[in-house]
Amino acid sequence: MLFNSIDFAIFLPVVFVIYWLLSAEGIKKQNLFLVLASYIFYGWWDYRFLSLILFSTVVDYSIGIGLSKQADPKARKGLVWLSIGVNLGFLGFFKYYNFFLDNFISVFSFFGDTMDARALSIILPVGISFYTFQTLSYTIDVYRKKLRPTRDFVAFMAFVCFFPQLVAGPIERATHLLPQFMVERKFNYAMAADGLRQILWGLFKKVVIADNAAVIANEIFNNSDMYSGSTLLVGAVFFTFQIYGDFSGYSDVAIGTARLFGFDLKQNFAFPYFSRDMAEFWRRWHISLSTWFRDYVYIPLGGSRVGTWKKIRNTFIIFIVSGFWHGANWTFVVWGGLNAIYFLPLLLRNKNRVHTGTVAAGKYFPSLRESLGMLSTFGLTVLAWIFFRAENMPHAINYLATLFSKSLFTIPYFSGGKHAVKSLLLILLFLMIEWLGRTGKYAIENLPGRWNRSVRWIFYYLIALSIFWFGGEQQAFIYFQF
């Protein structure tokens, strides 16, 4: 069920009303209803894969109980590795089976041998990369004794399948979200109103920015051999805004929807395109995933508190694994490796924590140095996104070869030029609002608070009208494929 669909527009108010009517019955009935609603939400896509979520839930709940009863270090380690094996095993089969099979066949063919193996027609379950990492955070934290295992199975089910963030995050930690299912929740008007504002802004990002940018990006990337380098640059820039509007828009709707039900989810994007270097970018982009890899992969490997060569090794591991998490394609691996190359000079010179605050804090305009930093970081990001968007490595290489040819200095030309101009104007308006609201958790969290009530409501209505007036052709959320 898509957030930007009529189905969800009917589903959400019905669930909201029933959920709060059940508040008088206690949190157990509310939690049970959330599980039911979440299973309907996910089953709307394909009910057959509900069994995977249920199986993962039962396994990790049982392992958590087992860890609480087991004192022997070897037995505890065996249990946590069982959880890792089951979750990553399912993820590996559904997401990477054909990828590894194809590459094994290619290796055998390279050495003159033939390998008789058939690929399987495997449907990738929506959200499997997200909810497997979420349940893994539970068993790992219980193993590390950072969290006491729950014996409330319904609450644990709700934690695993909570519908606002089930299929595309944010990837919540058990230490943050699970305890919220254990306490009484009372309707809070201010929290719900804030949630609606964030939903509104998230839909604007998705429907107005991402879906319009997608039309241009798809046209150029899908026919890249027909266009000049300048046109390919336009396509890469539009994809850069498509993926940001698409994914951060989804996160905003997810976080806002959770707030309607009294839950607080972590911020997933913090205005990443205003970053002054690549280290800052990765603190602001897909925060829930980057911090997950930091805490469960990077730090256990030694993090940056090791020698130079191990720092380099750890950096490449974390970025390449992150790239591979996104999909079974060498383009994602190269995308991760390229970002590691961007990041390493900052880490090795101890410059990776220089920019931790808001850019141009307390000012309307950035300094020349900040502007150059943002521009160079944005340019590097645009180049990296080409690998992310390309169908395969030859496509990416040919795209870059044309991009950096003499035709880069020609006037861009492609079908849909008028639509591109309209989309560009919308993006500029979007960037202005994001810049003015960059101190909040989302752009319009605090921005309208400076205005009187009438102006605020006019502003909200204008955003709502723009969603209907300027909304592009409906596109599936990009991160549903991960």
Among residues 137, 157, 185, the one where a domain terminates is 185
Residues 171 and 130: beta-carbon distance below 8 Å:
yes
Most confident of 100-104, 175-179, 475-479: 175-179
Residues 36 and 59: beta-carbon distance below 8 Å:
no
Query: 422 pLDDT exceeds 70?
Result: yes
| Percent of the chain residues topping a pLDDT of 70 | 94
d(CA 229, CA 401): 8
Residues 220 and 113 in one domain: no
Residues 181 and 195 in one domain: no
* pLDDT grade for 82, boundaries at 50, 70 and 90: very high
Residues 200 and 104 in one domain: no
pLDDT tens string 194-241? 999 999 999 999 999 999 999 999 999 999 999 999 999 999 999 999
Alpha-carbon distance values, 62 to 45, 82, 85, 156 (Å): 28, 11, 15, 11
CA neighbor of 315 nearest in space, from 304, 300, 305: 304
Distance of CA 435 to the CA centre of its chain: 21
Residues 28 and 126 in one domain: yes
d(CA 232, CA 408): 8
- In single-letter form, the type of residue at position 92 comes to G
Residues 315 and 297: beta-carbon distance below 8 Å:
no
Distance of CA 367 to the CA centre of its chain: 30
Question: Looking at residues 259-274, what average pLDDT do you find?
Answer: 96
In a domain, 398, yes or no: yes
pLDDT tens string 83-113? 999 999 988 888 877 666 665 555 555 555 5
Is the four-CA dihedral 148, 150, 155, 156 of positive or negative sign? positive
Residues 149 and 256 in one domain: no
Tokens of 43: 């089953």
Query: 119 pLDDT exceeds 80?
Result: no
Among residues 167, 185, 203, the one where a domain terminates is 185
Residues 266 and 170 in one domain: no
Question: Looking at residues 411-431, what average pLDDT do you find?
Answer: 92
Q: Which of 209-213, 352-356, 448-452, 462-466 has the lowest mean pLDDT?
A: 448-452
Residues 231 and 87 in one domain: no
In a domain, 125, yes or no: yes
Judge if pTM exceeds 0.85: yes
- For 124, left (φ over 0), alpha (ψ -120 to 50), or beta? beta
Residues 167 and 253 in one domain: no
User: Alpha helix locations (H) across 144-228?
Assistant: 153-161, 174-177, 189-203, 211-222
Confidence (pLDDT) at 91: 87
In a domain, 334, yes or no: no
Question: Looking at residues 257-276, what average pLDDT do you find?
Answer: 96
In a domain, 101, yes or no: yes
CA neighbor of 56 nearest in space, from 129, 146, 142, 150: 129
Positions marked catalytic: 326
pLDDT tens string 120-135? 556 677 888 899 999 9
In a domain, 284, yes or no: no
Q: What are phi and psi of 189, to 5 degrees?
A: -60, -45
In a domain, 297, yes or no: no
Question: Looking at residues 188-198, what average pLDDT do you find?
Answer: 96
Query: 117 pLDDT exceeds 80?
Result: no
Residues 263 and 200 in one domain: yes
Question: Looking at residues 245-256, what average pLDDT do you find?
Answer: 95
Per the structure, the count of domains in the chain is 2
Residues 34 and 72 in one domain: yes
Among residues 185, 217, 252, the one where a domain terminates is 185
Residues 20 and 164 in one domain: yes
d(CA 117, CA 102): 9
Residues 203 and 467: beta-carbon distance below 8 Å:
yes
Residues 408 and 442 in one domain: yes
- In single-letter form, the type of residue at position 383 comes to L
Tokens of 230: 């300048």
Confidence (pLDDT) at 109: 56
Mapped onto helix, strand or coil, the DSSP state of residue 160 is: helix
For Cα atoms 44, 48, 54, give the angle at the middle one, nearest 5 degrees.
95
Round the CA-based radius of gyration of the chain to a whole number and report it. Answer: 23
Could you tell me which residues come within 8 angstroms of residue 457 by beta carbon, excluding any fewer than 6 positions away?
none
Domain limits at 260? 191-276+355-481
Confidence (pLDDT) at 265: 96
d(CA 155, CA 64): 14
In a domain, 111, yes or no: yes
Query: 442 pLDDT exceeds 80?
Result: yes
Whether the bond between 170 and the residue before it is cis, its omega within 30 degrees of 0, is yes
In a domain, 54, yes or no: yes
pLDDT tens string 37-78? 999 999 988 788 899 999 999 999 999 999 999 889 999 999
